[in-house]
Chains A and B, each alone.
Chain A
Amino acid sequence: MDRADTSARIATVIEPFNKKALPVTDDTSFAGDLEWDSLTVMDFVAAIEDEFDIIITMNQQAEIETYGQLIDAVTKLRG
């Protein structure tokens, strides 16, 4: 699966979570820029998992801090 397709689908999933409608780039950090708390992160991860029918384990989540890293990780998980 290519990165552009993954990126477009993640952009749709992230919309309802991005309450302040902040601009999101590959460098946008979930905790720092979007100021998400752990509950929002959990719901967002579940939404991403459902969208792509994948598992993002806690171990993998620990490595994902930015939007770009998430796209890379999901692209890889989709194989």
Chain B
Amino acid sequence: MSDTAPETAEKTDLFSKFDPLIEQRRVLLSTGITDPFNLVMERVVSPTEAICNGRRTILLGTYNYMGMTFDPDVIASGKKALDEFGSGTTGSRVLNGTYAGHRACEDALREFYGMDHAMVFSTGYQANLGIISTIAGKGDYIVLDIDSHASIWDGCKMGDAEVVPFKHNDIEAMEKRLRRIPEGAGKLVILEGVYSMLGDIAPLKEMIAIAKKYGAMVLVDEAHSMGFIGPNGRGVAEDQGVLDQVDFVIGTFSKSVGTVGGFCVSNHPKFEIMRLVCRPYVFTASLPPSVVHTAATSIRKLMHAGAKRAHLWENSRNLHTRLTALGFTLGTKTPQSAIIAVIMPDLERGAMMWEALLHEGLYVNLARPPATPAGMTLLRCSLCAEHTAEQVETIIGMFERAGKATGILGGII
């Protein structure tokens, strides 16, 4: 034994870095409030209703935009796949994990987007992680919006590229950064169609034109717009007429499609090589057969869901107008997506309002830093095409009562 090594070194607790968060949770829960991050859905009645704490609850925070989770055709295809292909693939897509259903799912995506290539990942998180980290490596530059999703930031970090953020939706700030990148360096611009915290959309048309001017490739995450925004539900890029300018569209099955999984679609002629070099695609098991069959069925039905899209817009506009009229502060001045974010004064009162709504029989997402921009606490509402006009009316009444009870409305606090 060396002279300098102590017989037993003092143990370092790697968990001490979480102490501030542990303390913040302790203080919040010591008030007797229901833990907003530990809710259990005891039964799910429909895309818009569940039983929580024994109470029938309207769901307004699920991202289940198109209400496909209980679609009879979707359910039937999943059950059939369970019977015919078993419960899981137990393998990677590049080994024993590509079944007919995975191919069917990729075919459906190619058709849905009208693009040449589609690659299905086990989650949306892995789709961003995998594509970004694989295409932008050491010496390349990634220019991205500061409010990008965690999966995008993690993809940037994993790939060793030079990461250059710009102020949210700021076209000029983006251009300045692109202009300053050294000549000859590879450039990837990453944008989102809908930003999920405030529910605002990006000026993709202007931003993509600038990205192309500087020779950058463009990746757009359309997780929160697929199925709903754009004439064919292809997303914000389609809506603004620039989908053909996007090199890579990233999406997910866990929102409008109504199951789990992620994907990338592209027209890049060499895209198929991704299947061999993208580690989050290769080194994980593929999605279960029931999941890919439900996804494929759902995607095909979303191609012809114009009436549902129209009703969802109606719901979004209605809720936005009425909450504004009640006196709530919302994340956007106009309804831009199916997300309506109600801004809370702080975490304590946000948690109080969240609980008051839950007691009314309404579930929304409580969102707080670091997920939110500018240190905000939000009650994030995501509407569903299956919410009836009557349900939206009920929701507005619940917000009014809870807002008054907690003093968020009416200036009691």
Listed in ascending order, the chain A residues whose CB lies under 8 Å from chain B are 37, 39, 42-43, 46, 49-50, 53-55, 57-59
Encoded as 1 (CB less than 8 Å from any A CB) or 0, chain B from 150 to 189 comes to 0000001000001111110000010011001100000000
Are B180 and A53 within 8 A (Cβ)? Answer: yes
Closest to B153 in A: A58
Specify which chain A residues have a CB less than 8 angstroms from the CB of B181 in the assembled complex. 55
Chain B residues positioned under 8 Å from A39 (CB to CB): 374-375
Closest partner residue, chain A, to B166 (CB atom): A46
Q: With A39-B374, A39-B375, A42-B146 known to touch, is A59 a contact of B162 (CB < 8 Å)?
A: yes
New A-B pairs, 17, CB < 8 Å, besides A46-B167, A55-B162: A37-B375, A39-B374, A39-B375, A42-B146, A42-B167, A49-B177, A49-B180, A53-B180, A54-B180, A55-B164, A55-B177, A57-B141, A57-B162, A57-B164, A58-B162, A58-B165, A59-B162
5 tightest Cβ-Cβ pairs between the two chains A and B:
A58-B163, A57-B162, A55-B180, A57-B164, A55-B164
Chain B residues within an 8 Å CB radius of A43:
167
| CB nearest to A58 among chain B residues | B163
From known contacts A55-B181, A58-B165, infer whether A46 and B173 are also in contact, taking CB-CB under 8 Å: yes
Q: Are A58 and B167 in contact (CB under 8 A)?
A: no
Distance in Å: Cβ of B165 to nearest Cβ of chain A: 7
Q: Tally inter-chain residue pairs, CB-CB below 8 A.
A: 32
Q: Name the prevailing secondary structure of the A interface residues.
A: helix
16 A–B contacts from the bound complex (CB under 8 Å): A37-B375, A42-B167, A46-B166, A46-B173, A49-B176, A50-B176, A55-B164, A57-B141, A57-B163, A57-B164, A58-B156, A58-B162, A58-B163, A58-B164, A58-B165, A59-B163
Closest A residue to B165 by CB, please name it. A58
> A42 — which chain B residues lie within 8 A by C-beta?
146, 165, 167
Instruction: Give chain B nearest CB distance to A48 CB in angstroms.
Output: 12
Q: Smallest CB–CB gap between A32 and chain B, Å?
A: 15
Number of B positions contacting A (CB below 8 A)? 16
- Closest Cβ–Cβ distance, residue A11 to chain B (whole Å): 22
Cα distance A58–B146 in the bound complex, in angstroms: 11
Tell me, in angstroms, the Cα distance from A37 to B376 when the chains sit together: 13
Nearest neighbor of B374 in chain A, beta-carbon distance: A39
CB-CB under 8 A from B156, the residues of chain A are 58
User: Please, which residues of chain A bring their CB within 8 A of the CB of B177?
Assistant: 49, 55
**Contact string against A for B residues 362-378, beta-carbon threshold 8 Å, 1 for contact and 0 otherwise:** 00000000000011000
CB distance from B158 to the nearest CB of A (A): 13
Q: With both chains docked as a complex, state the minimum distance between the C-beta of B156 and any C-beta of chain A, in angstroms.
A: 8
Hey, which chain B residues are within 8 Å of A53, CB to CB?
Answer: 180
A residues in contact with B165, CB < 8 Å? 42, 58
Chain B residues closer than 8 Å to A46, beta-carbon distance: 166-167, 173
**A64 CB, nearest partner CB in chain B, Å:** 14
Nearest A-chain residue to B146, judged by Cβ: A42
A1→B106 CA distance, assembly (Å)? 55
Give every chain A residue within 8 A of B176 (Cβ-Cβ): 49-50
Tell me the complex Cα distance, A57–B176, Å: 13
Chain A residues with CB below 8 A from B166, complex form? 46
Output the least CB separation between A35 and chain B (Å): 14
Q: Which residues of B contact A57 (CB under 8 A)?
A: 141, 162-164
A18 to B146, CA, bound (A): 23
B371 to chain A, nearest CB (A): 13
